[in-house]
Structure 1
Amino acid sequence: MTDQTDLQGRQTLKASESVVVDLSDYRHAKDPLPVTFHRRELDQILWVYGRMVGEGEWRDYALDHMRDKAVFSVFKRSGEQPLYRVEKVPKLAAKQGAYAVVNTHGMILKRGHELPQVLKVFDKLLKVVKS
């Protein structure tokens, strides 16, 4: 074997035919970055989580970052299905709102454009108890 046989099947680009590709465009086309929660969003979610842990209602959580959405799941016990999921879906930001709280059965409890408003679903209402 000689080097000539290896080069016969290849086509080479001349200097005038070179193609310049923007690295960020290449990365987004090849493998888009997953959707994530920003630091302030995580602070708001973790504040509610800490309050509910203090009340003894929640015990564990999980974070999932996927291509189309980010999910913060909360559990009563780690071996079970999540009690609630706080989801961020940027594709729905212009329509229904990017944030949603979903229960175990998949029912959307609250959806909106602002995370603090959506997280108010976890606020407990004070009730007057007559004795």
Structure 2
Amino acid sequence: MSMDQTPETPLNGPVFWDRRELDQLLRVYGRMVAQGEWRDYAMGGLKDVAEFAVFRRHGDAPAYRVEKRPSLRLKQGQYAVMGEGGVILKRGRELAQVLKVFDARRFTVVE
């Protein structure tokens, strides 16, 4: 990071997860894999959003997505957990707090 860039200054280029955030995401992912809930994940970084998607089975649509949108950092919070269909389950400023949505309840598929 150069001297003229502060943590509040967005960098040009894609948004992605830092090491601390990845550690938190992969801890939750590992726990859910051990419980047999999730089977696969994918990550992506675009110009305005980083995404961590988890899948119940290979080839399915994502069961959950965790997004990081720095542009919302000062508003409703840059982190969000979304369920199937894009429903926002939790949004906030701290990733650890947002990821607690996976501790709060047991998720089951309703058909």
TM-score of the two chains, using structure 1 as the length reference = 0.70
- 2:67 aligned partner, one-letter code: E
Where does the alignment leave 5 or more consecutive residues of structure 1 unmatched?
1-31, 127-131
Answer 1 or 2: higher relative contact order, Cα 8 Å, separation at least 6: 2
Matched, 1:122 2:71: no
Q: 1:79 aligns with which of 40, 59, 70?
A: 59
| C-alpha deviation, 1:62, in angstroms | 0.1
SS in 2 for 1:72: strand
Aligned residue for 1:46?
26
- Listed as ranges, the matches of 1:50-129 within 5 Å are 50-125=30-105
TM-score of the two chains, using structure 2 as the length reference = 0.83
- 1:38 aligned partner, one-letter code: D
| C-alpha deviation, 1:125, in angstroms | 4.9
| C-alpha deviation, 1:68, in angstroms | 0.4
Where does the alignment leave 5 or more consecutive residues of structure 2 unmatched?
1-11, 107-111
| C-alpha deviation, 1:77, in angstroms | 1.1
Deviations 1:14-48 (A, max 9, x none): xxxxxxxxxxxxxxxxxx31000000000000000
The Cα RMSD (Å) is 1.2
Aligned residues: 95
- Runs in 1 of length 4+ with deviation above 2 angstroms? none
Structure of greater Rg: 1
% identical aligned pairs: 61
- 1:34 aligned partner, one-letter code: P
- 2-structure distance, mates of 1:95, 1:125: 27
Deviations 1:106-125 (A, max 9, x none): 00000000000000000045
